[in-house]
Amino acid sequence: MRDFIIHEPDNIGGACSLLLEFGTQARIIAGGTDLLVDLKQHNIEISHLVSLAKIGGLKSITTIGDEIRIGALVSLNEVAESLTVKKRLRALCKAAASMASKQIRNQGTIGGNIASAVPSADLPPALLAAGAHVIITSGESERKVPMSNFFYGPRKTVLAVGEILTQVVIPSIGKKTAIIYKKFKLRGANALAVASVATRITVAGNLIKEGRIVLGAVAPVPMIAELASEMLAGQIPSHNLFFRVAEAAAAEAKPISDIRGSREYRKELIQVLTKQSLDEAFKRATGGGD
Ligand SMILES: Cc1cc2nc3c(=O)[nH]c(=O)nc-3n(C[C@H](O)[C@H](O)[C@H](O)COP(=O)(O)OP(=O)(O)OC[C@H]3O[C@@H](n4cnc5c(N)ncnc54)[C@H](O)[C@@H]3O)c2cc1C
């Protein structure tokens, strides 16, 4: 691994200035669980790391009105165990708990999981299903970016040089709504998703008012399966409907074949996970489930 200088600014403005000063030679380091692997494997060559560890205000989970705000440096274990998050978006806690090992979850952060923009990352699908957005700061100004606009390719995001993702904001989820996250991985721990699905359903009377299906690890970015999602609105829930929606979600997926699974296998997985998550989401939205 190449030698590098670690900077530890104690405020956001200082961190942004360092990132601007060193440009492509610098990277933010949060927990380092993605970045250090990349540095060791020479996937990236840089000479400056800008640590966020000493910056206050990035490590808390707060509620403001109906919104939950999660600081970028909140660890994966803290997300998994947060009662505040569990109450509103249990799927995010489950996604965080399904990741890596306890040690990695203590070190890795929600901000790092999102900013690394790995297509199989576990937190983005549940956040997309919830309609979350992120707050990005350049030190001088802030912008609010919906999760659905944040990624534009594998390891590519809208973050510009000098910008830091500071918060993840989850809006009110609403009544009679449930979000379920399902992931398929090849072993119990330390395994990335081969395919994942986050499903959101809102019911009104005997009908599904609206639904959203988000797919992970089967496209260059976590993607909303738009056609499959639209098939749910205004429909009477049934085994047949959920089966057809699951088929449509699999048709929309754009997986590649790699060491963890073939393209065809991933499409099959999407169909199965979508059907299972629709069944569970409907049960939960109508007052059943755990
Ligand atoms: C053994 C192992 C198992 C793993 N298993 C899983 C898994 O099951 N599921 C999964 O999704 N991931 C998994 N990961 C990946 C990783 O642990 C997570 O993505 C973690 O959340 C990354 O967070 P971090 O704080 O360590 O990020 P870092 O490594 O510090 O940073 C990652 C990237 O994001 C950038 N970055 C970090 N924070 C910010 C910020 N606030 N603003 C802007 N840019 C930022 C960094 O510059 C870097 O490019 C695993 C990793 C390992 C080593």
Q: CATH no. for residue 23?
A: 3.30.43.10
Taking the alpha carbons of 271, 274, 280, 285 in that order, is the dihedral positive or negative? negative
Are residues 219 and 140 part of one domain? no
Taking the alpha carbons of 186, 43, 222, 30 in that order, is the dihedral positive or negative? positive
Atom of ligand 1 nearest to the CA of 76: 21
3-state secondary structure of 170: strand
Instruction: Return the pLDDT at 229.
Output: 98
Are residues 197 and 276 part of one domain? yes
Mutate to test the pocket of ligand 1, among 107, 116, 151 (most ligand atoms within 8 A of CB): 116
Mean pLDDT for each consecutive 10-residue tract of the chain (290 residues)? 91 98 97 95 92 96 95 98 96 96 96 97 98 97 98 97 98 94 86 94 96 98 98 98 98 94 96 98 85
Residue 21 belongs to what domain range?
A: 5-51
Q: How far is the CA of 266 from the centre of ligand 1 (A)?
A: 23
Domain count, the chain: 3
Instruction: Return the pLDDT at 290.
Output: 54
What gap in Å lies between CA 163 and CA 19, rounded to an integer? 8
Give the end of a domain, one of 146, 170, 194. 170
Domain membership of residue 290 (yes or no) is no
Listed as own residue / partner, the contacts of 14-21 with beta carbons closer than 8 Å and 24 or more positions apart are 15/50, 15/52, 15/55, 15/139, 15/164, 16/137, 16/138, 16/139, 16/140, 16/162, 16/163, 16/164, 17/139, 17/162, 18/48, 18/50, 19/50, 19/161, 19/162, 19/163, 19/164, 20/161, 20/162
Mutate to test the pocket of ligand 1, among 34, 75, 113 (most ligand atoms within 8 A of CB): 34
Tokens 């090992």 -> residue: 101
Are residues 135 and 77 part of one domain? yes
Tokens 């996604």 -> residue: 95
Domain membership of residue 56 (yes or no) is no
Q: Ligand 1: residues whose CB is within 6 Å? A: 27-35, 37, 52, 72, 76, 99-100, 104, 107-109, 111-113, 115-116, 121-122, 159, 164-165, 190, 192
What gap in Å lies between CA 190 and CA 270, rounded to an integer? 21
Domain membership of residue 148 (yes or no) is yes
Atom of ligand 1 nearest to the CA of 159: 43
Please give the helix or strand (H or E) that residue 39 lies within, else none.
helix 35-40
What gap in Å lies between CA 39 and CA 264, rounded to an integer? 33
CB-based contact 260:192 (threshold 8 Å): yes
Domain membership of residue 21 (yes or no) is yes
Cα–Cα distances (Å) from 6 to 38, 166, 222, in that order, read 16, 20, 32
Cβ neighbour number for residue 67 with a 10 Å cutoff: 14
Q: Which residue's C-alpha comes closest to atom 11 of ligand 1?
A: 121
Tokens 């830091």 -> residue: 164
Domain membership of residue 278 (yes or no) is yes
Q: How far is the CA of 109 from the centre of ligand 1 (A)?
A: 6
CB-based contact 273:194 (threshold 8 Å): no
CB-based contact 244:232 (threshold 8 Å): no
Atom of ligand 1 nearest to the CA of 44: 49
Q: What are phi and psi of 68, to 5 degrees?
A: -105, 135
Q: Which residue's C-alpha comes closest to atom 44 of ligand 1?
A: 115
Are residues 111 and 28 part of one domain? no
Mutate to test the pocket of ligand 1, among 29, 33, 136, 142 (most ligand atoms within 8 A of CB): 33
Length of the chain: 290
Instruction: Return the pLDDT at 273.
Output: 98
Q: How far is the CA of 140 from the centre of ligand 1 (A)?
A: 26
Are residues 278 and 203 part of one domain? yes
Cα distance from N-terminal residue to C-terminal residue, the chain: 47
